[in-house]
Amino acid sequence: MGTSGRNVTVTEDKVAIDRLRARLQTYMLKKGLRSTAQRRLIVDTFFEIASHTTIEDLLSEVRTRDKGIGYATVYRTLKLLAECGVASERRFGDGLSRYELADDASAHHDHLICVSCGMIIEFEEPRIESLQDEIAARYGFHVTSHKHEMYGTCAKCSASGSS
């Protein structure tokens, strides 16, 4: 459901995903977890559609390739991806957990969330980042992380009067 306003090259994407795959493999070896065919399919599918996907969205996509994969398997695999730092869980106030690639896989980004249709737009704005740094410095505050979410109505919903 999300769209991205970010400009990331295919090469940068591939390098980032390869790094995340290596992180997952190392984590699984450390924990003594097996790399099953179902788990690999779920992970591959997640990397293909990792823009704010819900468990249900991922399950639906995975089942187009293997109808035998169940909800619990997808749930556990997504939790594993989050646990080892490959995926980040996001909640945008609609009661659903959404997952995206961990922040170190791509540039930091913020979100615009349509309260009508649920569309999520990712964006980067250096001026916002700079202003946040200035404010933190003014108060002697060291920021370790942050999230910026703006809620409103997208252009399509505004035009159709869905707000």
CATH label of the domain that carries residue 101: 1.10.10.10
Do 37 and 53 belong to one domain?
yes
Q: Is residue 125 part of a domain?
A: yes
Which residues are registered as beta bridge partners of 99? Answer: 53, 89
Spatial CB neighbours of 85, under 8 Å, sequence gap ≥ 6: 23, 27, 102, 104
**Does 153 have pLDDT greater than 80?**
yes
Contact yes or no for 74/43 (Cβ under 8 A) = no
Tokens 């540039």, located at residue: 107
Q: pLDDT (tens digit, 9 = 90+) per residue, 109-138?
A: 777 888 888 777 877 788 888 888 899 999
Provide the pLDDT for residue 93.
72
Instruction: Please state, in angstroms and rounded to a whole number, the distance separating the CA atoms of residues 91 and 12.
Output: 26
Provide the pLDDT for residue 75.
95
Q: Which residue has the higher pLDDT, 132 or 106?
A: 132
**Does 11 have pLDDT greater than 70?**
no
Q: Which residue has the higher pLDDT, 100 or 138?
A: 138
- In the chain, the number of structural domains is 2
How many CA atoms within 13 Å lie on the side-chain side of 75? 5
CATH label of the domain that carries residue 122: 3.30.1490.190
For the entire predicted model, the pTM comes to 0.62
**Does 44 have pLDDT greater than 60?**
yes
Provide the pLDDT for residue 124.
76
Of the listed ranges 1-5, 15-19, 35-39, 65-69, the least confidently predicted one is 1-5
Q: Is residue 1 part of a domain?
A: no
Contact yes or no for 53/33 (Cβ under 8 A) = no
Structure confidence at residue 103 as a pLDDT band (50, 70, 90): low
